[in-house]
């Protein structure tokens, strides 16, 4: 799904990126894959049901909250419901660039898919390649 942007405070995202910078050698490269905020805003659905392969059901209930989305996922399996809630920050090319720069990285390239397609508001992934300054 994504591995970054779950903290409620963006300052915690920046701390995480600064940790990446500390781990990189000078000139080291960092590739990040996150959900594309522009795509989510354009295609937002507050509720979504899906039947899973094992016969259980998955409900996603999402609400916009400042610069991200608050999600509650409910899985109904064998008559029992389990809920998990989380926040996901909606980064765009502009906002992830600013976060990378603020952390000591130079953004180099952006893609919208793992196959290297151009980043557009029609691609649901945002892949960014950055270099340690």
Tokens at 51, concatenated: 């039947």
pLDDT value at residue 2: 77
What percentage of the chain has pLDDT greater than the value 90? 94
Phi-psi group of 130: left, alpha or beta (phi > 0 → left; psi -120 to 50 → alpha; rest → beta): beta
Report whether 59 contacts 74 (CB < 8 A).
yes
> Within a 10 A sphere around the Cβ of 19, how many other Cβ atoms?
11
pLDDT value at residue 1: 63
Q: Is the model's pLDDT at 100 over the cut of 90?
A: yes
Specify burial of residue 95 (Cβ count, 10 A radius: 0-12, 13-18, 19+).
middle
- What does the pLDDT look like over 2-29, one tens digit per residue? 779 999 899 999 999 999 999 999 999 9
């Amino acid at each position: 799904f994504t591995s970054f942007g779950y903290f409620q405070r963006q300052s915690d995202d920046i701390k995480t990126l600064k940790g990446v910078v500390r781990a990189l050698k000078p000139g080291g490269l960092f590739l990040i894959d996150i959900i594309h905020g522009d795509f989510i805003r354009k295609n937002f659905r507050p509720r979504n049901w899906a039947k899973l392969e094992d016969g259980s059901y998955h409900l996603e209930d999402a609400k916009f909250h400042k610069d991200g989305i608050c999600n509650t996922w409910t899985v109904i399996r064998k008559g029992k419901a389990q809920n998990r809630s989380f926040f996901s920050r909606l980064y765009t090319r502009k906002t992830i660039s600013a976060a990378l720069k603020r952390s000591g990285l130079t953004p180099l390239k952006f893609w919208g898919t793992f196959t290297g397609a151009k980043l557009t508001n029609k691609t649901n992934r945002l892949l960014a390649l950055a270099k340690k300054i």
